[in-house]
Amino acid sequence: MARMYEVYILNRPVIFTENTEAKQNDLVFHEPSKKQLQELPNLLRHDTAIKTVILESKNVQMLWMNFCILYKEVLAAGCVVENQDGAFLWIERNTRWDLPKGKVEPSESIEEAATREVTEETGIDRLSLRSHLRTTYHTYEEDGIPILKTTFWFHAFHDGSNTTGIPQSAEGITDVQWKFRPFGDELLENTYPSILDLVSSIPD
């Protein structure tokens, strides 16, 4: 199945594609209407058996645009940070393991936002960006307004000796840890599906 876009709604993937190879517990829409796009959050909220939603269209770009206009867009940036020993930087936010990220400010570039957010959330500085890993999308509501957050992720390297993190408690962060691969079940079973996909793309 050729995936052109993937967005997480209530932590479940919604895939925009031209070709469908559905599995059990996948829900498939062929050329979905605007109303069907609007109802996706309610549908997933009330049917927890649905694992994946597949939206099939001959014009995926137009379908994606029709989906995006239903939401207020928020841009964010974050990093998968590796240190000199080959360990990776994780944060515990609101009882789940996550990666440092945050909103892009109007006066800064995406790259500047990515490194700033890491330092603010973890206290780790001396960061250099190696490459753009991928861009992820997920939706949520804020004060009743549907939000589509686009997050640009970078592979970053920490070349300093200060590896002791300082969690940003104001953002709900309670722990900062460096962890080696392979990541243990305690972490993998207590993070977000989109983060699992992201860490699988980290180069060896």
> Read out DSSP for 123-142?
----EEEEEEEEEEEEEEEE
* The predicted structure's pLDDT at residue 19: 81
* The predicted structure's pLDDT at residue 25: 75
Instruction: Let me know whether 38 and 132 are in one domain.
Output: no
Instruction: Let me know whether 16 and 34 are in one domain.
Output: yes
Instruction: Let me know whether 64 and 80 are in one domain.
Output: no
Helices marked H in 3-147:
34-38, 40-46, 60-68, 110-122
Instruction: Let me know whether 180 and 82 are in one domain.
Output: yes
Domain boundary among 25, 41, 68: 68
Total domains, the chain: 2
Residue written as token pair 């014009």:
59
Domain boundary among 68, 92, 113: 68
Instruction: Let me know whether 104 and 164 are in one domain.
Output: yes
Parent domain of 38: 3-68
Residue 204 lies in a domain: no
pTM here? 0.92
Instruction: Let me know whether 147 and 166 are in one domain.
Output: yes
Q: Which tokens go with 176?
A: 């900062």
pLDDT single digits (tens) 118-163: 999 999 999 999 999 999 999 999 999 999 999 999 999 999 877 7
Instruction: List, for the chain, all residue ranges whose pLDDT scores fall below the cut of 50.
Output: none
Instruction: Let me know whether 63 and 99 are in one domain.
Output: no
Instruction: Let me know whether 131 and 173 are in one domain.
Output: yes
